[in-house]
């Protein structure tokens, strides 16, 4: 009989913990990321995202539990793990007066060599001039250099800590495209973020972490329920305001009326709200995405938490 060997998951953690004391750290993380998946790791500042990533990279030692990358133990087999991983840290390292091309050659040399064509393509794609000194780079360019370093050796797994911070919108789009291509080429991506729309944009699944604990691993549909916008609508003076219709529209919450202005939050699709406004004369409509902290505060308060996990 032929025995089928099942490939190990790209990332697997069992009760992984790092306790820094006074309730800080990461606690009993059970997580599995399968191959060829873009997994978003979402949480507010200080929730434990970077701690998880450093544990996976073997930079810090767990106080409990285990972490495996492609079946390799992240502590015991950390060298072999890193052969398979491309890493982008949350804070770009400082290379002082080295030029961009020297940084690439230095870190490429530590991996046994540089794929020059790949580097050329990546640098050109992000319009990153490698002849300039690191200390002369803007923060966006430093981030681009870190992206090139993470992707240059075509790793099987990319572990990226808030990869788009400092990038302008055009380069963010370019980065998302690169992520999709990388996934299509067979790689797995684990990226952390505190921007809900970002993970919604590029990820297949999302793990949500708060206060060092994994709250939920959500599918994209779940995210749409979480996603919330603050909306401010201004009506033409003296025209009727469809207050009742707006209040009744699906997804509309916390509505307040004040003169010719209405504020509310919208969860999920905007269609019901727009339908409620169809006969009104709207002079201004502003929609803003609240910070992730606000989303968490509003959504992960006890009743909603029960609702999500049910």
Partner 1 sequence: MTAVLLALRLGRWGIVGFSLAGFVFNFVNAVAFFQIAGHTPQERAALGATMSALAAQLVVLLPPPIRPDTVAGYVQFRGFNSLAILFAVWALASATGFARADEEKGLVESELATGTSRVALVGSRVLAFAIGLAVAAAMAGMAFVLGVASGNESFERGRVVEAAANLVALGLACYGISLLVSQLTAARFATAAAGAVLLALFFLNSLSRVFSWLSTWRWLSPFRYYDLSQPLPQGGQLDVRAFLVLLGIALVASSAAAFAFWRRDLGGALVRVPMRAGPPRYEPSTSPWWRYPVLRGVYERRLGVLAWSAGVAALAVLFVSLTRTIVNVLLNIPALLPYLSIFVHQQLYPAVLGYTWLNVAQLLFAGLAITHVARWSAEDSDGRLEMALSAPYSRAAVVVERMAVLVAVALVVAAVSGLTLYYASHANGIDLSVPRLTAASLMLVPFALVFAGAGALLASWNPRATVGLLGAFAFASYLDTELGPVFKLPLWLQDLSAFKLFGTPLVTGVEWRSVTLMLLLAAAGVGSSILLMQRRDVGR
From the list 100-108, 205-213, 223-231, 281-289, the region that binds partner 1 by CB under 8 A is: 100-108
Minimum Å gap between C-beta 178 and partner 1 is: 15
Per CB under 8 A, does 114 bind partner 1?
yes
Per CB under 8 A, does 230 bind partner 1?
no
Per CB under 8 A, does 58 bind partner 1?
yes
With CB under 8 A as the contact rule, the residue among 34, 66, 78, 165 that binds partner 1 is: 78
Q: Starting at the earlier edge strand, list the strands of the sheet with 205-210.
A: 85-88, 157-161, 188-193, 38-42, 205-210, 213-219
CB count, 10 Å around CB of 258?
A: 7
Q: How many angstroms separate the CA atoms of 73 and 49, rounded?
A: 19
Angle at which helices 116-125 and 169-184 pack, to 10 degrees?
Answer: 140
Binding mask 161-200 for partner 1 (x = CB under 8 A): ----------------------------------------
Per CB under 8 A, does 257 bind partner 1?
no
Listed in sequence order, the residues at least 6 apart from 257 whose beta carbon sits closer than 8 Å to its beta carbon are 241, 243
With CB under 8 A as the contact rule, the residue among 11, 29, 42, 92 that binds partner 1 is: 92
Per CB under 8 A, does 154 bind partner 1?
no
CB–CB of 122/152 below 8 Å?
Answer: yes
Distances (CA, A) of 49 to 54, 86, 126, 151, 237: 9, 17, 26, 21, 48
Which residues are at the interface with partner 1 (CB under 8 A)?
A: 50, 54, 57-61, 78-80, 82-83, 85, 87, 89, 91-99, 101-102, 104-114, 116, 119-120, 123-124, 127-131, 135, 149
């Amino acid at each position: 009989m032929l025995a089928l060997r099942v490939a190990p998951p790209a990332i697997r953690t069992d009760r992984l913990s790092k306790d820094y004391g006074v309730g800080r750290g990461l606690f009993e993380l059970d997580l599995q990321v399968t191959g060829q998946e873009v997994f978003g790791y979402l949480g507010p500042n200080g929730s434990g995202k970077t701690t998880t990533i450093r544990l996976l990279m073997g930079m810090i030692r767990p106080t409990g539990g285990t972490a495996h990358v492609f079946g390799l133990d992240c502590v015991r087999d950390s060298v072999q793990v890193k052969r398979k991983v491309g890493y982008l840290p949350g804070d770009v390292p400082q290379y002082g007066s080295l030029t961009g091309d020297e940084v690439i050659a230095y870190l490429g040399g530590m991996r046994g060599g540089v794929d020059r064509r790949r580097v050329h393509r990546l640098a050109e794609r992000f319009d990153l001039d490698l002849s300039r000194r690191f200390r002369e780079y803007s923060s966006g360019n430093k981030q681009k250099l870190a992206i090139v370093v993470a992707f240059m050796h075509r790793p099987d797994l990319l572990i990226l800590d808030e990869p788009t911070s400092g990038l302008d919108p055009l380069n963010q789009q370019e980065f998302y495209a690169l992520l999709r291509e990388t996934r299509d080429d067979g790689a797995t991506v684990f990226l952390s973020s505190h921007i809900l729309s970002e993970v919604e944009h590029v990820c297949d699944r999302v793990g949500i972490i708060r206060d060092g604990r994994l709250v939920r691993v959500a599918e994209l549909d779940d995210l749409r329920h979480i996603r919330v916008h603050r909306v401010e609508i201004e009506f033409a003076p003296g025209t009727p305001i469809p207050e009742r219709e707006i209040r009744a529209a699906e997804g509309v919450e916390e509505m307040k009326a004040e003169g010719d202005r209405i504020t509310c939050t919208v969860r999920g699709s905007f269609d019901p709200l727009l339908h409620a406004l169809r006969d009104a004369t709207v002079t201004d409509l502003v929609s803003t995405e609240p910070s992730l902290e606000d989303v968490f505060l509003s959504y992960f308060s006890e009743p909603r938490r029960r609702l999500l996990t049910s």
